[in-house]
Amino acid sequence: AKDIDGNQIGPATFDGKMVLIDFWATWCRPCMAEVPHMIKVNEDYGPKGLVIVGISLDRDQAAWKQGIQANAMKWVQSLDSQNAPGLAGAWGVDSIPRTFLFSPSGELLWTGHPSQMDGALADAFKKFTPRMVDKKTLTDATAALDKAEAAVKSNDMATAARALAKLPAAAAKEKALAPRVEQLQKDVAAYAAGALTEADELLGKQEFAAAITKLEPIAQLPGLVESKKAAEKLTAIKAMPAARAAFEAAAKAEQEKVKAARSEEALAAAKKLKGDKKDEQAYLAFKDVARQYAALPAGAAATEEVAAYEKDPLFVKRATTGAGEAKARAALNLAISYKNAGRADLAKAKYQSVIDQFPGTPSADAAKKALEELPKE
């Protein structure tokens, strides 16, 4: 599969870890009701070697990403529609939420509704001990140590400190790496003390950004007294009114820059849809850009494109109806899966939601018919 950033993921990615595969979707109320539980599971077991992989059945990629961000779902996420073949079908998932728990060696230990998995998780961690450091982390840690040691040899202690600061925390606990980490900590300790003095001089000149640049690598170094002092100084700087004003101005400028870049990317994507003759999709994409970035040049350009499309009322009706039907069809499919699983109560509720939320669509008509055919209580 591919994760939310487009990276390939698979068994090798999680070698030695306990893995929990979770099929879900933002439009699935039972799934979203389980999010706080999933967050707690991730917090409790993640540090012990559990990796959660969410496989979403969402059709709306924007809603999927927004749901992940809004609910702080900080684990691996993949969109099923971007994987071939579809994972839900291949795994026999006919209702969601549905989870699968695997041992570090890849053995299926348990599957079912996530609300029922706590006992299976506890038993799994009693029986198996996941590896804390995966191969990629170990590779990254080795590279960071190599870079730091090379910098020490060339007396470039600033680079050594920055490289050591990038060392993954979990990797520092590995017995094979611990002696190298300890030696490097000793090597950069003297530099760290000097950096603290230089940071104080920069603060006296109100050169806050330069002082932070000096302090941040030191504050992140594991096991040094100087790192605690650097962290305390960073906290003090952030509490200074003058520094706070400077940071806020810089942050605002950076946010505006990022927002402008995103608006141009979204506008380019909409233009590509138009160039590919996918006008209904392009129209909806332009509307999104116009709404989200109204005050930016990209928003103004998108508004012009929307106005051009809206000269044809029949086209607008066709485009908006098509978008609603796509979402309605996804909800209808879930209702059907509930019915096939023998969950008439959930099926009735989902059929009714299709009728209420997407009136006038073919899926709403199909939901009405299906609702009438369900056994009466």
pLDDT at 377 over 90: no
Q: Tell me the whole-structure pTM to 2 decimals.
A: 0.41
Q: State whether residue 266 is helix, strand or coil.
A: helix
* C-alpha span between 73 and 67 (Å, rounded): 8
Question: Given the structure tokens 């170094």, which residue do they identify?
Answer: 221
Torsion of CA 284, 288, 294, 298, to 10 degrees: -80
- Per-residue pLDDT at 330: 85
Q: Which residues pair with 77 in a beta bridge?
A: 54
* C-alpha span between 355 and 307 (Å, rounded): 31
pLDDT at 171 over 80: no
- Per-residue pLDDT at 70: 92
Q: Quick one: pLDDT band at residue 30, thresholds 50, 70, 90?
A: very high
Q: Which residues pair with 76 in a beta bridge?
A: 53
CA distances from 301 to 263, 287, 306, 310 (A): 10, 11, 9, 14
- Per-residue pLDDT at 374: 84
pLDDT at 84 over 70: no
* C-alpha span between 370 and 349 (Å, rounded): 12
pLDDT at 83 over 70: no
pLDDT at 86 over 90: no
Q: State whether residue 196 is helix, strand or coil.
A: helix
Count of helices and strands (H, E) across the chain: 16, 5
H or E stretch at 54: strand 50-56
H or E stretch at 50: strand 50-56
Kindly report each contact of residues 315-321 with a partner whose C-beta sits within 8 Å and lies 24 or more positions away, as own/partner. Answer: 315/279, 315/280, 315/283, 316/283, 318/280, 319/279, 319/280, 319/283, 319/284, 320/284, 321/360, 321/361
Provide the residue type at 292 as one letter: Q
Q: What is the DSSP letter of 295?
A: T
Q: What angle do CA 213, 216, 221 make, to 5 degrees?
A: 140
Q: What is the DSSP letter of 277?
A: T
Identify the weakest region by mean pLDDT among 79-93, 268-282, 335-349.
79-93
Question: Between 297-309 and 241-275, two packed helices, what is the crossing angle to 10 degrees?
Answer: 30
pLDDT at 349 over 70: yes
- Residues 299-328 have pLDDT tens digits of 999 999 999 998 988 887 777 766 667 778
